C-alpha cells in the first residue's frame, strides 16, 4: 500500500495547474452511454475513480480508447449487459449515474447500493422515487436493486426532497430520452450539472434551466455524439488556495475558473487573505496573521462540503474561534479526531458542528486517510506541521487528485510516495 511521507514547515512557491473536474468527468462517461455515436471526452483527470468508471463501462459493452493523457473516446454502439459491476460500484458513489443511460437505452438496470467516501448514510431514495415517477418499476433482491420499464420512460413532474447532484444529473439524463416533457424542481445548480446539460444539449437534447433549481426536459428519440471538454476542478482549485493560505505561501493557480469559488473568496477576504485573479487563474497572497471566520457548508453557490476538511485545517492556523457547520453529511467531521492528535484545538459539538480555536502549532504524525477530501486536509496539515508526517491509505487521495505528490513537489513541497 502506498503512503505519503511529508516534511512540513516549508513555504510553497510558484504556479500549479488545476486538472479537469473529477465530478464532471465521471458523469461524462455516463452521458457517453446515452448515445450510439462516439463521444470524445477531454481534460479528464487521470485518477483512480475514472479508471473504475472505465472498468464498469467496458463491462457494460462500451468500447473505450484512452487516446492520450486526459482524453478518452467512448463508443457505446451496443450495450450488452445491464448489471453495473457490484464489486466496482461499491467503491464508487458516482456509479449510480449509470442507471440513467441503462434505463433509457435497455429499459432495465441492476445495481448494488453504491459506495464511495464514508462520510454519511448516503441514501438513494431520490433516484428510486424519481425513476418511479418516470414510470419505472423497482424491486430489490438480496443486495441488488433492479429498475425496469415496460416500454419507454415517460416524462413527469418531480420535486427533489433534498438537493442532490447525482440525483439531478441522473434524472436529467434519463428524461432526455423519455417520451414527453419532464419538469424537475429543487435541482442541484453545481457547475458540473450545468456543464453536463450544456453537453447534452450539444448532442441534441432539449433541456432548459441548467444552473437553476427548475429544469425542463423535452424528451428526444436519440442523441448524437460529440466532444465534451471537462470544466476545471473547483474543489482542487479551492484545495490549492487553502493550502497556500494555510502555509502562508504565495501561490498562483492556473487552468481554473475562479468564478466557481466566489463563496470561498468572500470568506478569504474576511480572513484578510488577499487574492488577484484573471481569466483562468488566481493568485493567493496570504498575510502573516489570518483571522478566523465560521462557515456553514451549503449546496452551490454556497460553501462546498468538499472543501470543509481542507478549510478546517486553515482555521487551525487562523487567529480566533470559529464554528464549522457541516450541513450536508453527518459523518464528514469524523476525520478531525486525527487533526486533534496533530495538536489542533477542536471541540466536537455534535455530528454536524465543530469549534476550532486557533492558531495552533501542528505536530507531525502518522495518519490514515479516511476519504478523499479528508486525505487532502491531512496533506495540508502535514505541510503546516514541522517534522515528518506519514499519510496511509492514499488510494483515497488518488481517487480524486492526479499525481498529487509530483505536482506539489514542483511548488516546493517536501512530499514523497513510498
Residues interacting with ligand EPU, by CB under 6 A? 23, 26, 93-94, 117, 120-127, 162, 164-167, 305-306, 328-329, 372-373, 400
Distance CA 60, CA 20 (A): 25
Distance CA 356, CA 341 (A): 14
Nearest distance in Å: CB 182, ligand EPU: 18
Nearest distance in Å: CB 96, ligand EPU: 7
**Catalytic residue, candidates 117, 187, 203, 384:** 117
> Which lies closer to ligand EPU via its Cβ, residue 190 or residue 364?
190
Cis, peptide link before residue 285, omega less than 30° from 0: no
Longest Cα–Cα distance in the chain: 64
> Which lies closer to ligand EPU via its Cβ, residue 12 or residue 124?
124
158's grid cell: 418531480
61's grid cell: 459493452
Nearest distance in Å: CB 260, ligand EPU: 12
CA dihedral in degrees (329, 335, 336, 340; nearest 10)? 170
E strands in 11-150: 14-17, 39-42, 63-68, 71-75, 108-112, 137-141, 144-148
Phi, psi of 375 (to 5 degrees): -60, -45
Which among 54, 156, 152 has a CA at the least distance from the CA of 103?
152
Which among 273, 289, 247, 242 has a CA at the least distance from the CA of 412?
247
Q: Tell me how far CA of residue 77 lies from CA of 39, 63, 368, in angstroms.
A: 11, 8, 43
Distance CA 196, CA 30 (A): 10
Tell me how many degrees the CA angle 140-143-148 measures, rounded to the nearest 5: 35
> Which lies closer to ligand EPU via its Cβ, residue 133 or residue 283?
133
Nearest distance in Å: CB 203, ligand EPU: 20
> Which lies closer to ligand EPU via its Cβ, residue 26 or residue 382?
26
CB 18 within 8 A of CB 233: yes
CB 406 within 8 A of CB 2: no
Alpha helical stretches, state H, 181-302: 191-202, 234-246, 262-271
Nearest distance in Å: CB 115, ligand EPU: 11
- Residue 117 designated active-site: yes
Nearest distance in Å: CB 329, ligand EPU: 6
> Which lies closer to ligand EPU via its Cβ, residue 117 or residue 367?
117
> Which lies closer to ligand EPU via its Cβ, residue 114 or residue 359?
114
141's grid cell: 433482491
Nearest distance in Å: CB 376, ligand EPU: 9
Tell me how many degrees the CA angle 406-412-416 measures, rounded to the nearest 5: 45
> Which lies closer to ligand EPU via its Cβ, residue 165 or residue 356?
165
Residues labelled catalytic: 117
Amino acid at each position: 500500500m502506498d503512503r505519503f511521507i511529508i516534511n512540513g514547515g516549508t513555504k510553497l512557491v510558484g504556479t500549479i495547474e488545476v486538472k479537469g473536474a473529477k465530478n464532471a468527468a465521471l458523469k461524462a462517461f455516463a452521458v457517453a452511454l446515452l448515445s450510439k455515436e462516439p463521444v470524445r471526452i477531454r481534460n479528464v483527470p487521470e485518477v483512480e475513480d475514472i479508471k473504475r468508471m472505465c472498468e464498469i463501462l467496458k463491462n457494460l459493452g462500451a468500447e473505450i480508447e484512452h487516446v492520450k493523457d486526459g482524453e478518452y473516446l467512448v463508443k457505446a454502439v451496443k450495450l450488452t449487459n445491464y448489471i453495473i459491476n457490484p464489486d466496482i460500484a461499491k467503491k464508487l458513489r458516482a456509479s449510480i449515474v449509470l442507471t440513467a443511460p441503462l434505463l433509457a437505452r435497455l429499459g432495465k438496470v441492476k445495481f448494488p447500493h453504491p459506495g464511495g467516501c464514508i462520510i454519511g448514510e448516503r441514501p438513494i431514495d431520490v433516484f428510486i422515487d424519481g425513476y418511479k415517477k418516470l414510470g419505472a418499476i423497482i424491486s430489490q433482491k438480496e443486495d441488488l436493486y433492479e429498475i425496469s420499464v415496460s416500454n419507454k420512460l415517460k416524462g413527469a413532474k418531480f420535486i427533489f426532497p433534498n438537493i442532490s447532484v447525482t440525483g439531478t444529473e441522473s434524472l436529467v439524463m434519463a428524461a432526455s430520452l423519455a417520451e414527453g416533457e419532464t419538469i424537475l424542481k429543487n435541482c442541484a445548480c453545481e457547475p458540473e450539472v450545468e456543464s453536463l446539460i450544456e453537453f447534452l444539449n450539444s448532442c441534441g437534447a432539449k433541456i432548459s434551466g441548467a444552473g437553476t433549481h427548475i429544469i425542463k426536459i423535452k424528451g428526444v428519440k436519440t442523441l448524437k455524439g460529440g466532444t465534451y471538454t471537462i470544466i476545471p476542478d473547483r474543489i482542487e482549485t479551492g484545495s490549492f488556495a487553502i493550502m497556500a493560505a494555510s502555509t502562508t505561501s504565495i501561490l498562483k493557480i492556473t487552468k481554473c475558473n475562479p468564478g466557481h469559488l466566489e463563496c470561498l473568496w468572500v470568506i478569504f477576504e474576511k480572513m484578510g487573505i488577499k487574492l488577484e485573479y484573471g481569466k483562468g487563474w488566481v493568485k493567493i497572497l496570504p498575510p502573516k496573521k489570518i483571522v478566523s471566520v465560521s462557515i456553514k457548508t451549503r449546496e452551490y453557490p454556497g460553501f462546498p462540503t468538499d472543501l470543509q476538511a481542507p478549510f478546517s485545517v486553515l482555521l487551525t492556523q487562523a487567529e480566533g474561534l470559529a464554528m464549522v457547520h457541516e450541513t450536508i453529511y453527518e459523518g464528514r467531521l469524523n476525520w478531525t479526531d486525527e487533526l486533534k492528535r496533530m495538536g489542533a484545538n477542536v471541540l466536537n459539538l455534535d455530528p454536524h458542528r465543530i469549534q476550532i480555536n486557533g492558531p495552533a502549532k501542528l505536530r507531525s504524525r502518522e495518519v490514515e486517510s479516511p476519504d478523499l477530501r479528508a486525505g487532502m486536509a491531512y496533506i495540508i496539515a502535514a505541510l503546516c506541521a514541522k517534522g515528518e508526517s506519514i499519510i496511509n491509505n492514499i488510494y483515497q487521495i488518488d481517487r480524486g487528485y492526479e499525481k498529487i505528490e509530483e505536482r506539489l513537489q514542483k511548488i516546493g513541497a517536501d512530499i514523497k510516495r513510498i
